[in-house]
Amino acid sequence: MAEPQKTPTDYRINDPAEFSRNMVKIAAQSQRLVTDFLKGQVRNGKPNGGSADPLNLGQTFVDFLGHAMRHPGHFVEANFRLWQDYLALWHHTARRMLGEEVPPVIEPSSGDKRFRDKDWSEHQVFDFIKQSYLLSARWLQSTMGDVKGLDPKTRKKVDFYTKQFADALSPSNFLFTNPEVLRETFKSNGENLVKGLNNMLKDLERGKGQLAIRQTDMDFFEVGRNLALTPGKIVYQNDLLQLIQYVPTTEEQYERPLVIFPPWINKYYILDLGEKNSFVKWATARGYTVFVASWVNPDKRLAQKTFEDYMREGIFDALDAIEKATGVKEVNAIGYCIGGTLLSATLAYMAAKGDNRIKSATFFAAQADFSEAGDLQVFIDDEQLKSMEDTMKAQGGYLDGAKMATTFNMLRSNDLIWSFVVNNYLLGKDPMRFDLLYWNSDTTRMPIKMHMFYLRECYKENSLAKGKMVLAGEKLDLSKVKIPIYLQSAKEDHIAPYRSVYKSTKLFKGPVTFMMAGSGHIAGVINPPDAHKYQHWTNDKLPEKVEEWIAGANETPGSWWPHWDKWLSKLSGKKVPAREPGDGDLDVIEDAPGAYAKMK
């Protein structure tokens, strides 16, 4: 029996006159869009400091073509396989048209959200378009990726940018090949496209000539009003940080304070988004005296700050301030992402100097060994680093936060770029209100000296893991760090892959606990117990390879926070009367979240 087809009215213009009027509006808006974009390019000048190829794509694909031309048979075989796939697809489509129920030739991966609309499967034309694209994308990526003779770094770059190209060409990204967009266009007589172009014009204006795609309602959220609300006080500040001490919610607290060093690539309040998903609020309620470093958003004045400065004015100044605030010299510390890399390096420096103020360290999605640091490595070679350095010099000595955000968004382009192109510009909808995406868009700048040191020493040279990094004249050796270590990783983390985090189990020589959470770089960390989401894996043994660790691990549903609390509580000393901010030798400067968290 033939399957029912979508009625023609779903893909028919409702009001031709109104549709025509909207097309006239779209034409006018398109002209303005192009004009505004060109004006922005003139106003911004050369955004990459004069580099015509900031990503070094030209040389990458020259190298690729050189190897590819030596193996012409590879492409002949690949084209033959693609032809066979298309024959199978045409046969499948013909059988469907005759009323048969036949399985698809190819299906999207389980996590692919682009083809969720039912017409991608139920409507024969769109089903053919979808499967044709999936076959072509698979062919493109396998053909490019299987060329022999490429060195690993070039192969990784070719794979990454081939996927970016394939993702950009998805039929879901275009008006006439996306059934949801096409239906909405006919239903609204093109009003969605008018609204979409208005959204694009606003984003161009917000980005000052560069397209700054909104991922959420930027006007709804405000730090200190509906984000970062856990009560606390700024008790210390310097050029690089404000130190927050949180108001206790228990009568007693553990004697040993807990200090958190978040990444300075974003604002600290990922740890305090809202009442129901605040790690800070939860930890305070568990009886910890919680301090958090709220890093400054650097400008030209701080362009010469170094990685060493972040150690001295960040971690060391915070430790001194905590001792004054609580009277306790020894602390437990947490480092998140790049904050964890800084903490690792600092621990090695402190070990060399006999400084034992940090008695345990927890690392959230943080790397010390960057030999398997994931897709971010494709942005690291001499040419790209030189181009980035030139860009930072041209901008006044810092990297604009929007450029960092674009890099991270490219790692998940379908979710963090193309989905918003479809929603905002093709469907003409406003982005939904989502606190995490607001935080993701609340970017910060990177001082040139610090950032180039981090990229070259960690991502390019892997100096910290090799024992070659030097800070303040001291060569750092992580094997001298013998305090208890807790390593949190996440199964789907694309920024600090669990394989990379696991390598730290072999670097530190004290007792190490490794844990892998479900989800990714953010949701894998920010997963409160009351949410009853995801899962985590634990294994007391630390075999040589992470695959062996996974094979022997136990899976537990829900948040990993209680597992960590059980570990840290044993290292936090006795209970003492709760400490209020300002009780010690530090005066309160202002209420949390403080001025640094609100800096644009």
Of residues 153 and 74, the one with the higher pLDDT is 153
Q: Is the pLDDT of residue 50 over 70?
A: no
Q: Round to whole Å and give the CA distance between 571 and 360.
A: 7
Q: Does residue 420 sit in helix, strand or coil?
A: helix
Looking at residue 146, what is its pLDDT? 74
Contact 274, 229 (CB under 8 A): yes
Instruction: Decide if 405 contacts 443 (C-beta within 8 A).
Output: yes
* pLDDT for residue 577: 97
DSSP for 364-398, please give it: ES--S--TT-GGGGGG-SHHHHHHHHHHHHHHTSE
Report pLDDT for 209.
76
Residue 197 CA neighbour count, 13 Å, CB half:
20
Dist CA 342 CA 362 (whole Å): 12
Strand 290-295, strand 258-261: pairing:
parallel
Q: Residues 19, 22, 24, 28: what is their CA dihedral angle, to the nearest 10 degrees? A: -160
Residue 243: how many other CB atoms lie within 10 Å: 25
**What 3-state class would DSSP assign to 400?**
coil
Sign of CA pseudo-dihedral 34, 22, 416, 450 = positive
User: Residue 80's pLDDT is what?
Assistant: 81
Q: Which of 134, 265, 325, 337 is catalytic?
A: 337
Residue 253 has pLDDT above 80, yes or no: yes
The pLDDT assigned to 6 comes to 47
Q: How many CA atoms lie within 13 A of 246 on its CB side?
A: 32
pLDDT band for 48, please (50, 70, 90 cuts): very low
Pick the closest to residue 264 from 442, 506, 396, 143 (CA basis).
442
What are the tokens at 319? 């430790």
- What's the rounded mean pLDDT across residues 439-444? 92
The percent of residues in the chain predicted with pLDDT above 70, rounded, is 91
Which tens digits make up the pLDDT trace of 492-513?
999 999 999 999 999 999 999 9
At 66 the pLDDT is 65
526 confidence band (pLDDT: 50, 70, 90)? very high
Segment 559-566 mean pLDDT: 98
Amino acid type, 310:
Y
Query: For the segment 51-105, what is each residue's pLDDT rounded down to a tens digit?
Result: 556 666 666 666 666 656 666 666 677 788 888 988 999 998 899 888 888 999 9
Average pLDDT over residues 459-485: 97
Q: How far is CA 533 from CA 284, 315, 523, 525, 538, in A?
A: 21, 33, 10, 12, 17
**CA 344, CA 150: separation in Å to the nearest integer?**
34
Phi, psi of 291 (to 5 degrees): -120, 140
Q: Write down the residue that tokens 């493109």 correspond to.
A: 140
pLDDT at 207 over 90: no
Which own/partner contact pairs does 530-539 have at CB distance under 8 Å and 24+ positions apart?
530/276, 531/276, 531/277, 531/558, 531/559, 532/557, 532/558, 533/558, 533/559, 534/558, 534/559, 536/560, 536/563, 538/563, 539/514
Mean pLDDT of 254-262: 98
Banded model confidence at residue 470, pLDDT cuts 50, 70, 90: very high
Q: DSSP secondary-structure letter at 275? A: T
> By the 8 A CB rule, do 208 and 395 touch?
no
- Band of the pLDDT at 303, cuts 50, 70, 90? very high
CATH 3.40.50.1820 in the chain, residue ranges: 232-371+462-598
458 is catalytic: no
Q: CA 78 to CA 69: how far, in whole Å?
A: 14
Write out the DSSP string of 287-335: T--EEEEEE----GGGTT--HHHIIIIIIIHHHHHHHHHHS---EEEEE
Mean pLDDT of all residues in 460-477: 96
pLDDT band at 2 (very low <50, low <70, confident <90, very high): very low
Q: Are 494 and 377 in contact (CB under 8 A)?
A: no
pLDDT at 153: 81
The three state secondary structure string of 490-544 is: ECCCCCCCHHHHHHHHHCCCCCEEEEEECCCCCCCCCCCHHHCCCEEEECCCCCC
For the ranges 225-229, 394-398, 516-520, the lowest mean pLDDT is seen at 394-398
pLDDT average, residue stretch 502-530:
97
- Residue 484 in contact with residue 510, Cβ under 8 Å? yes
Dig out the tokens for 567 from the structure.
Answer: 């570990």
Q: Please give the Cα distance from 122 to 113 (Å, whole number).
A: 16
Q: How confident is the model at residue 4 (pLDDT cuts 50, 70, 90)?
A: very low
What is the per-residue pLDDT across 126-148, written as a single tens digit (0 to 9) for each? Answer: 999 999 999 999 988 888 877 77
- In whole angstroms, give the CA distance from residue 325 to residue 587: 9
pLDDT score, position 157: 84
Q: pLDDT band for position 36 (50/70/90)?
A: low
Q: What is the mean pLDDT of residues 288-305?
A: 96
- pLDDT on residue 56: 64
DSSP 50: T
- CA–CA separation, 582 vs 590, rounded Å? 11
Please give the pLDDT value at position 51: 55
- Residue 286: name the closest of 562, 482, 91, 473 by CA: 562
**pLDDT per residue as tens digits for the range 380-429:** 888 889 989 998 999 899 998 888 888 888 888 999 899 999 999 999 99
- Residue 52 has a pLDDT of 56
Whether 322 contacts 316, CB under 8 Å: no
Residue 44 and residue 210 in contact, taking contact as beta carbons nearer than 8 Å: yes
Q: Is 30 a residue whose pLDDT tops 90?
A: no
**What six digits make up the tokens of 518?**
């479900």
Which of 54-63, 147-156, 294-303 has the least mean pLDDT? 54-63
Under CATH, domain 232-371+462-598 is a member of which superfamily?
A: Alpha/Beta hydrolase fold, catalytic domain (3.40.50.1820)
Q: DSSP of 178-195, one letter per residue? A: -HHHHHHHHHTTTHHHHH
Q: Are 321 and 586 in contact (CB under 8 A)?
A: yes
**pLDDT band, residue 39 (cuts 50/70/90):** low
Given a cut of 50, is residue 281 above it in pLDDT?
yes
- Starting from the edge strand earliest in sequence, which strands make up the sheet with 485-490, in order? 554-557, 535-538, 512-517, 485-490, 358-364, 331-336, 258-261, 290-295, 241-246, 232-237, 590-591
Q: Which amino acid, residue 359?
A: K
The amino acid present at 215, given as its one-letter code, is: Q
pLDDT at residue 44 tops 90: no
- Assess contact for 200 and 416: CB atoms under 8 A: no
